[in-house]
Amino acid sequence: DPLSKLNKQPVQKSVAPHIFPAGHTCEMNLPIQTSDGGTGSVGIAPEADWRYYVINFAGNDHRCGQLGRALLLLEPSIELGNCFFKDEDFGMRGRATPTNQISTFFSSAAMMSFTQISEDSIAPTAELFAKISHLQKGVVSAALERHAQILALPRHSDMVVLAAFTILESLITHSPRSPWHGDSLNHQVSTKMALLNGRFTKPLDHPRIDCSDQKSLWKKLYDLRSAIAHGDIPDFSSKSLRDLHSRESAWELLSQALKRLLVLSLSEFELITALKDC
């Protein structure tokens, strides 16, 4: 189980000795100006307030990437930050830092919400990790890699919506074979995702969006995709988009759907392949 040792550990004891010379600690005290015109400072929070985990597991950097892809399919997702590799014979031998991902994470952190992680939410990790580890190169492995690459995009950019639809369309759509609307990408996405909703581990849901009419919902999400792709500024007060409420709520639902589609693709590849050609 790659998460057999999911514990909140003091960085000073587990990781910091490999970054800072012996006897040295990481200290920070930055002066800031507050919103009301006053002054203050930002420093390192007490260990009890740290909001991250150190995950230990046996494997190389390739396996670390596979674990990262599995963790991104959880609800809520878990993002891997710095990855350190230790050899039994030679000790700490390197560090892999996904620079773009970490940069975009911290630049968007002030606008992000944090969700409590439970044992139930991480329970699927071992099964997902095993499936990804045995996955052959193809459309699903490419989709998983692209899904991880979304993290390098600014989290509140419209580009994440286009990236998500690119992955979704690569899994379930084919190039339109005729000019009539029954074979359009909009029609394919709305009808196929409505069908797949019944195959997901649980139906799509969102507190601010009505998900009861899946076909209508996906037509509205595709309208959002088209507006962005054609250079328009999405207007969530318009008739076609107002039921999505906001870009944030639309992205939350789209992200949820994409993760469940990827999980289904790992389990029922034949179904996804057949649906793609329909």
Q: Which residue is associated with the tokens 């639809």?
A: 165
Q: Judge whether residue 275 has pLDDT over 90.
A: yes
106 Cβ neighbours under 8 A, 6+ residues apart: none
pLDDT over 80 (residue 29): no
pLDDT at residue 58 tops 50? yes
Spatial contact of 73 and 263, defined as CB atoms under 8 Å apart: yes
Q: Work out the average pLDDT over 64-79.
A: 91
More confident call, 191 vs 88? 191
Q: What is the distance between the alpha carbons of residues 137 and 256, in angstroms, rounded to a whole number?
A: 24
- In three-state form (DSSP H/G/I as H, E/B as E, the rest C), the secondary structure along the chain is CCCCEEECCCHHHHCHHHCCCCCCCCCCEEEEECCCCCEEEEECCCHHHCCCCEEECCCCHHHHHHHHHHHHCCCCCCCCCCEEEEECCCEEEEEECCHHHHHHHHHHHHHCCCCCCCHHHHCCHHHHHHHHHCCCCCHHHHHHHHHHHHHHCCCCCCHHHHHHHHHHHHHHCCCCCCCCHHHCHHHHHHHHHHHHCCCCCCCCCCCCCCCCCHHHHHHHHHHHHHHHHCCCCCCCCCCCCHHHCCHHHHHHHHHHHHHHHHHHHHHCHHHHHHHHHC
Given pLDDT bands bounded at 50, 70 and 90, which one contains residue 209? very high
Confidence of residue 64 (pLDDT cuts 50, 70, 90): confident
Q: Which of 35-49, 123-137, 180-194 has the lowest mean pLDDT?
A: 35-49
Question: Are 262 and 144 in contact, with CB atoms under 8 Å apart?
Answer: yes
0.75 exceeded by pTM: yes
Contacts of 254 (CB under 8 A, 6+ apart): 161, 164, 165, 221
| Maximum separation of any 2 CA atoms in the chain, in Å | 71
Higher pLDDT, 112 or 75: 75
Q: Say which range, 19-23, 92-96, 253-257, has the weakest mean pLDDT.
A: 19-23
CB 171 within 8 A of CB 272: yes
How confident is the model over 141-166, as a mean pLDDT? 93
Write down the pLDDT at residue 155: 79
